[in-house]
Amino acid sequence: MKRVYGSLKSMMVGENGDDSTAKCRERRRRRMAMRRIAAVSSGASGSVMGEEKPNGVAKTRGDGPVSANTAAAIMSLIMPPPPVYGVLSVIGRQREMEDHVSVRLNLCGPEINGFRPVHFFGVFDGHGGRHVSALCKEQMHVFMEEELMRVTVDGGESSGGGGDVERWRLAINRSFQRMDEMALRLCLCGAVGSSSNICRCSPKLSFMGSTAVVSVVTNEYIFVANCGDSRAVLCRNGRAIPLSVDHKPNREDERARIEGCGGRIIFSNGARVEGILAMSRAIGDRLLKQWVTSEPEISITKREVGDECLILGSDGLWDVLSSELACNIVHECLQENRSSNVEPRTETHEGGNGEGPCPSRSESAATLLVRLALGRRSTDNISVIVIDLR
């Protein structure tokens, strides 16, 4: 396993280097391996054009028999293992838990990504209640998968990453739009009505909403879509690189947009839209929808060799910790665990303890961030996802 991991790491270094010849050789090798796997898959059904295949062996035209184990080994070289991550979400000093997190490794293999897997991570911070953020946890990754799989690449070889930026943006935007439309039809009775037939079982729903910071991670790019004041930070070579900007009502461009729509920014325990909402973008918030948009701001970052980790967190973390401090803490935590040869592992489910005798590096880092936020008297729910990009 370590040898495979090392070879994958060297492949990533080669792809990010400046040697164009090496890049061409690598792409050609991958294409040939993919053709070989396709031949193996077609032969695994038992017969091709009436020719019987022995169990576990498939014939490829001109290359001789290829065993199933060989095909699996080739696939493991082409498809890198999913990233190791750690996640922790706590109620903190609030009475109700309104934060939700969502992690979907190997969400799908869309054509726009060269049919290679993409990984989904999301933090949703509800306000006015937990219902909208819970709905985001259940449905956002579903919409994202559907929209990404719907994208086709016309002619030539697919980009395998962020080459066609506009297609990625449109797919992510549509996911947020569909999520917002569903949230606006949400009812406390559990039904989701049509836009013309909205259940009025509780007027509280008109003031319910959620932030959403979502990251789609591929082997070459990091896509981050942010709507609200949750945040995404990349740690690269020990430095914090913001991948999102908080949507606060007093942000100059957000204030201009809200006032241009006829809204007002009223200062009541901080800047608030119409004196109610402390963020300028959110999913839901039916009564404020005229001024509070669900359209995300999207950043696209090409991965580099020095990328260490990606941190997603709700404002319960960022209210008391700066991006730079959080990055430094995670950097030191990952370095310390690497020097002590702690074996990494991937979480098996959200918020749970994955398999293995000891926590992963990223899980330890997430726990440390939450403990520090609590120690600094954070008054909100705290949710953190730390994705180890190495």
* Strand ranges (E), the chain: 47-48, 51-52, 57-60, 64-67, 84-90, 99-108, 118-127, 209-210, 212-217, 221-227, 231-236, 239-242, 265-267, 271-273, 283-284, 297-302, 307-313, 382-388
User: Greatest CA span in the chain, whole angstroms?
Assistant: 77
Mean pLDDT of 152-169: 66
* Burial zone of 80 (CB within 10 Å; 0-12 exposed, 13-18 middle, 19+ buried): middle
Q: Identify the pLDDT of residue 6.
A: 45
CA distance 215 to 300: 10
Q: Identify the pLDDT of residue 80.
A: 73
Mean pLDDT of 235-264: 95
CA distance 111 to 241: 29
Q: Is the pLDDT of residue 206 over 90?
A: no
Q: Identify the pLDDT of residue 41.
A: 46
**Look-up of token digits 């509280």:** 204
pTM listed for this prediction: 0.75
Q: Is the pLDDT of residue 40 over 90?
A: no
Mean pLDDT of 109-124: 94
Q: Is the pLDDT of residue 360 over 90?
A: no
Q: Compare 147 and 1 and report the one with higher pLDDT.
A: 147
Q: DSSP string covering 280-341, please?
A: SB-EE-GGGTTT-B-PPEEEEEE--TTEEEEEEE-HHHHTTS-HHHHHHHHHHHHHHHHHTT
Q: How confident is the model at residue 28 (pLDDT cuts 50, 70, 90)?
A: low
Q: How confident is the model at residue 335 (pLDDT cuts 50, 70, 90)?
A: confident
pLDDT, tens only, 12-23: 444 444 445 655
pLDDT, tens only, 165-199: 889 999 999 999 999 999 998 876 655 554 445 55
Q: Which CATH number fits domain 84-247+282-388: 3.40.190.10, 3.60.40.10, 3.40.50.970, 1.10.3720.10?
A: 3.60.40.10
CA distance 251 to 154: 39
CA distance 212 to 219: 23
Residue type for position 275: G
**Look-up of token digits 């325990």:** 269
Q: Identify the pLDDT of residue 378.
A: 95
* Burial zone of 97 (CB within 10 Å; 0-12 exposed, 13-18 middle, 19+ buried): middle
Q: Is the pLDDT of residue 353 over 50?
A: no
Supply the mean pLDDT for the chain. 79
Q: Identify the pLDDT of residue 198.
A: 52
Q: Is the pLDDT of residue 38 over 50?
A: yes
Q: Is the pLDDT of residue 222 over 90?
A: yes
Q: Is the pLDDT of residue 346 over 80?
A: no
Q: Is the pLDDT of residue 162 over 80?
A: no
What is the H or E stretch that residue 74 is in? helix 68-78
CA distance 61 to 188: 59
CA distance 143 to 171: 9
CA distance 152 to 272: 41
Of 313, 130, 111, residue with least CA distance to 224? 313
Q: How confident is the model at residue 153 (pLDDT cuts 50, 70, 90)?
A: confident
CB neighbour list of residue 56: distance below 8 Å, 6 or more residues apart: 67, 68, 69
Q: Compare 303 and 161 and report the one with higher pLDDT.
A: 303
Residue spans of the domains in the chain: they are 2-78, 84-247+282-388
